[in-house]
Amino acid sequence: MTDVLAYSYMQRALVAAFLIGGVCAVIGVYVVLKGLSFIGAGISHASFGGVAIGVALGVNPVVTAIVFCQLVALAIGYVSRRGNIKEDTAVGIFFASTMALGVLLVGLMRGYQVDLMGYLFGSIISVTRQDLWTMLIVSALVLVLVAVFYKDLLFVVFDSEMAHVTGLPADRLFQLLLSIMALVIVASIKVVGIVLVSALIVIPPAAALQLTESFHKAMGLSALIGVGSCVIGLFVSDYLGVSPGAAIVLLATAVFVASTFFSPLRRCSVG
């Protein structure tokens, strides 16, 4: 293991694993409790359209993906709140259309050279210094927003109607939550990829919530599971020579299965 850590690419990958594993798990507790897992999947797939736009324009695909996903998050929030269709329908529409946009743009580009598989399935060992700075800035911003709006977001998650009655801007807080999700998702695509990033947001908090009913404890435990899955999955993938993203997600899933089986909450309910 010490020999592997001597390589700079592995050092960068390890830092990325800590950053993304932690921030995905923290925001994921809100996502799971609010039932926004499908929206997370929709935004993650929308990032493919943003990446394709960046490649077509010749600019950093991560930057265009951040802007694009923010617009998609705004659109999903607006349509589901103001329109006459259900939230899952709005997500399904943007899920399909933004992926189709990405496929169309890639098909129109001649001499396409960007590693598409790296964006779709992740390549944590190819993380650059620029990627790390992006992850660090996004992680810091997300954690600051969560700290500032911790109680407000919690109120909206558990009872948005009551939050609105008490004077909180529930719609704006909901939109803020979607925007934070979009930031985290785009920052994470280099680690586990567009296809798997929603799993990193959902699985660790789902496992943590099997072990405790306390929100702040669930957030801390979720972060521990997320970081642990990313770090251990990174070393497992290097040892076995398999996809890091797949190893990370499967390891997190194994933790979820174990937490469900040994859940003290489950034993209490059965007893």
CA 17 and chain centroid, separation: 13
d(CA 110, CA 108): 6
192-213 burial, b at 16+ Cβ within 10 Å, e below that, comes to: bbbbbbbbbbbbbbbbbbbbbe
Position with higher pLDDT, 218 vs 165: 218
Residue 2 token pair:
């010490």
State the Cα–Cα distance between residues 28 and 187, nearest whole angstrom: 14
Measuring CA to CA, which residue among 238, 251, 245, 128 is closest to residue 189? 245
In this predicted model, what pLDDT tens digit does every residue of 6-17 receive, in sequence order? Answer: 778 788 889 999
Percent of the chain past pLDDT 70, that is, above it, reads 91
Q: What is the CATH number of domain 4-262?
A: 1.10.3470.10
Q: 32 and 226 in contact (C-beta within 8 Å)?
A: no
For residue 271, pLDDT over 60 is answered with: no
pLDDT band at 49 (very low <50, low <70, confident <90, very high): confident
Q: Which pLDDT belongs to residue 268?
A: 47
Average of per-residue pLDDT values in the chain: 84
- Gap between the Cα atoms of 43 and 30, Å rounded: 16
pTM: 0.85
Q: Is 212 helix (H, G, I), strand (E, B) or coil?
A: coil
**Residue ranges of domains in the chain:** 4-262
Q: Which of 62, 32, 30, 27 is nearest to 48 (CA)?
A: 62
What is the per-residue pLDDT across 230-250, written as a single tens digit (0 to 9) for each?
999 988 988 888 888 889 999
118-146 pLDDT, tens digit per residue, is 677 777 888 888 888 988 998 999 999 99
pLDDT confidence band for 251 (50 / 70 / 90): very high
Q: What is the DSSP letter of 124?
A: G
The pLDDT tens digits for 176-231 are: 998 898 899 888 887 888 878 888 899 999 999 998 888 889 999 999 999 999 99
Q: Model confidence at 111, in pLDDT bands (50, 70, 90)?
A: low
Query: Does residue 178 contact residue 216 with C-beta atoms inside 8 Å?
Result: no
- In this prediction, residue 256 carries a pLDDT of 94
Q: Of 75, 61, 102, 11, whose CA–CA distance to 189 is shortest?
A: 61
Report pLDDT for 109. Answer: 74
